[in-house]
Chain A
Amino acid sequence: NAGVMQNPRHLVRRRGQEARLRCSPMKGHSHVYWYRQLPEEGLKFMVYLQKENIIDESGMPKERFSAEFPKEGPSILRIQQVVRGDSAAYFCASSPPGTPWSEQFFGPGTRLTVL
C-alpha cells in the first residue's frame, strides 16, 4: 500500500514565478492537509481539504496561495508570484474517512527554494 506521495521533491523558482506542489493521498484516504515547515518552527497548518471541497483554509495566506483537491487526480497547492519568504518545506498529509484530524500520515515533502 503506497504511502502519501508528493512531487516534486525539490522545486526551485525565481521570484515572481508560480509553484505547483502535488500530493496523492494514501489509498482510501479522503482527507488531505497541507503544512509548511520552516527551520526550528515546527509544522504550521495551512489548509484541510476533502474531495472537491476546502474544509478549512484558516492557515493559508490570504493572497497568492490556493489549494484544490479535485474529484480526479492529486491535491494541488499553488503559490503564485513566489517571494523569497515562501522558501520552505511543504508537507501533505492524509487521513482515512471518519473523524477528521485523526492520525495523519505524511508525505516526504516538497522543498521549495525561491531565488
Chain B
Amino acid sequence: TQLLEQSPQFLSIQEGENLTVYCNSSSVFSSLQWYRQEPGEGPVLLVTVVTGGEVKKLKRLTFQFGDARKDSSLHITAAQPGDTGLYLCAGVSSNDYKLSFGAGTTVTVRA
C-alpha cells in the first residue's frame, strides 16, 4: 500500500493543453516534494512545499500544498513536449521522518 497515492497514473495530452497531477494521502506531511524523472535518469527535484495552503510557481508549473498538509497538486499550463516525464511526489510524514514516494504519473505531451 502506497502512503502517497498519485493520480492519474498516465496522462497523454496535446502540446498547449493544461494538465493537473494529484498526490493524496491520509497522513499529514511536514513537507512535500515534487520530482521529475526522465527515462534512464534519476529524479530531479522541482519544488518543496512546507506550509499548508502554500502555492509555489516555477514558470509554467504551479504547485499547491493542501491546507491540511495531506495532499498536493501539480498544474502545468500550456504543456510542451519537454514537459514529458515521470512526475513523482514525495513526503516527509509528521509521524515519521522518512521520505515516502508516490508511484508517479507518466506525462506525455504530444507535439
- Chain A residues with CB under 8 Å of chain B are 4, 6, 33, 35, 40-45, 48, 56, 58, 91, 93, 100-109, 111
Contact = CB atoms under 8 A, between A and B. Distances in A.
Contact of B42 (A44, A58, A109): A109
B101 interface: yes
A103 B41 contact: no
23 contacts: A6-B42, A33-B99, A35-B101, A40-B103, A40-B104, A42-B101, A42-B103, A43-B43, A45-B99, A91-B42, A101-B92, A101-B97, A101-B98, A103-B33, A103-B45, A104-B99, A105-B45, A106-B35, A106-B42, A106-B44, A108-B40, A108-B41, A109-B40
A93 to B, nearest CB: 8
Give the top 7 A-B pairs by smallest Cβ distance, nearest first. A106-B42, A42-B103, A42-B101, A43-B101, A106-B43, A108-B42, A101-B97
Contacts of A91: 42-43
A101 to B, nearest CB: 5
A56 B97 CA distance: 11
Contacts of B2: 42
